[in-house]
Amino acid sequence: MEKNKSGIYLAIPEAVVVGNGEFPSHPFPLSVLDQAPCVVCCDGGANALVESGRLPDWIVGDGDSLSEENRIRFQDRIHRIPDQETNDQTKAVSFLASQGIRRIAILGATGKREDHTLGNISLLMEYQQMGLEVVMLTDYGFFTPAADTQTFAGFPHQQVSVFNFDAVQLRSEGLKYPIYDFRYWWQGTLNEVEGDSFRIMAKGHYLVYRTYEAKE
Amino acid sequence: MEKNKSGIYLAIPEAVVVGNGEFPSHPFPLSVLDQAPCVVCCDGGANALVESGRLPDWIVGDGDSLSEENRIRFQDRIHRIPDQETNDQTKAVSFLASQGIRRIAILGATGKREDHTLGNISLLMEYQQMGLEVVMLTDYGFFTPAADTQTFAGFPHQQVSVFNFDAVQLRSEGLKYPIYDFRYWWQGTLNEVEGDSFRIMAKGHYLVYRTYEAKE
């Protein structure tokens, strides 16, 4: 576990997946990207990665949003999966899982079409059920899928939102506003960490969002 | 009903709410903003509106993200609501509802912190239950809360996603992939309109997202 300047604890992932949303501009996701031993791009996500001066180890998808130039340049590292039932993010994650990789950070999965953003975020819950340890990093914060009772690292005034998927008996320690068995997305938003960690007690699955910066 | 160049039918709203997310840059939400008879900003949302050369009719919120300059300049049109239980978007919508306004478009509610985006989107379902006719416009598409069986305007190859809240017996006509009683957010994404309209049959509440542009 490594603590960055903002007080974020995050294990260095075994691989990073770069989505086809907005390429990260915040230094934290970029530092995670630059430390990753393996970078897999979802199709057109490779265009922005290459433009930023970095190179993909793999490009997964059906190749329809990859530039002609990158399609030729990286033809030896394109892994085509034509399945219409899953999106490119899931194809990239499943490809890594098939290589035995478990700890995965997902970047660039938000910030463009909002329906893609919602879909990509909710898929984190599926990856967790596949036995993977995933985190999604955006320019503002990070999403972690969670189940049952867990303790989370934090720092004072870090903003936290909890999205309930199928959890019951939701309770919290160390959050400014105690959580409860909420049902709607907005009900678990805009909470705040009080100390250096917080604990969520629950039975079932939920998603935790934490910001990089404390509230001003 | 008015059809814009992209083939989007949208009734001109009685008022527009400008959130504190990313200010729109797409011409469609901007044209809706410029035709609106009344513009209400969520607190700091007024800073971006003023920067774009436009003026708010009202500013609703607790004033904590409004610039000092705008706080002084618009002091006669700031409506302070200190309630900690609702967010600024809901304060603005409730304020409009209290003035008898029913048809509301929400802009600038997405594009920054993703937990705010998720919260703001889900609140559309609550506004619908308040008897309001709301739509949320982003730079990529628009969200409409819906209930039971409804027909929606569209155009060929328009991208559609359906997010299920509590609906059962979900079926569709006129969409490329027939919908079903899905449970997870991603399951209803990446669908496509076949003709000039589509129909969703259901019992209960769901959210429809449509893009402005057809898929290339």
Which of B122, B159, B161 is the closest to A184 by Cβ? B122
Would you state the pLDDT for residue B6?
54
- Mean pLDDT of the B156-179 span: 96
Could you please state the CATH topology (level 3) that the domain comprising A11-139 is classified under. Answer: Rossmann fold (3.40.50)
pLDDT class for A6, splitting at 50, 70, 90? low
Nearest to A161 among B112, B115, B123 (CB): B115
User: To the nearest whole angstrom, how far is the Cα of B120 from the nearest Cα of chain A?
Assistant: 7
Report pLDDT digits (tens) over A20-52: 999 999 999 999 999 999 999 999 999 999 999
Domain residue extents for chain B = 13-139, 145-214
**ipTM of the modeled complex:** 0.93
Tokens of A191: 């909470």
Residue A2 — pLDDT band, cuts 50, 70, 90? very low
With an 8 Å Cβ cutoff, is B190 touching chain A?
A: yes
Residues B17-36 pLDDT 10s: 999 999 999 999 999 999 99
Banded model confidence at residue B7, pLDDT cuts 50, 70, 90: low
Q: Which of A99-103, B42-46, B182-186 has the lowest mean pLDDT?
A: B182-186
Residue B4: pLDDT band (50, 70, 90) is low
What is the pLDDT of chain A when averaged over all its residues? Answer: 93
DSSP string, chain A: -EE-TT--EEPPPSEEEE-SSPPP-SHHHHHHHHH-S-EEEETTHHHHHHHTT---SEEEE-STTS-HHHHHHTGGGEEE---SSS-HHHHHHHHHHHTT--EEEEES-SSS-HHHHHHHHHHHHHHHHTT-EEEEE-SSEEEEEEESSEEEE--TTEEEEEEESS-EEEEEESBSS---S--SGGGG-SEEB-SSEEEEEEESEEEEEEEEEE--
Q: Please report which confidence band the pLDDT of residue B184 belongs to, taking 50, 70 and 90 as the band edges.
A: confident
> Domain B13-139 in CATH: superfamily?
Thiamin pyrophosphokinase, catalytic domain (3.40.50.10240)
Write out the two tokens for B143. Answer: 């969200």
Q: Please report residues of A whose CB lies closer than 8 A to that of B114.
A: 110, 117, 121, 138, 140-141, 143, 209
Query: How far does the CA of residue A117 sit from the closest CA of chain B (Å)?
Result: 9
Q: How far apart are CA B95 and CA A29, in angstroms?
A: 39
B189: tokens are: 């994404």
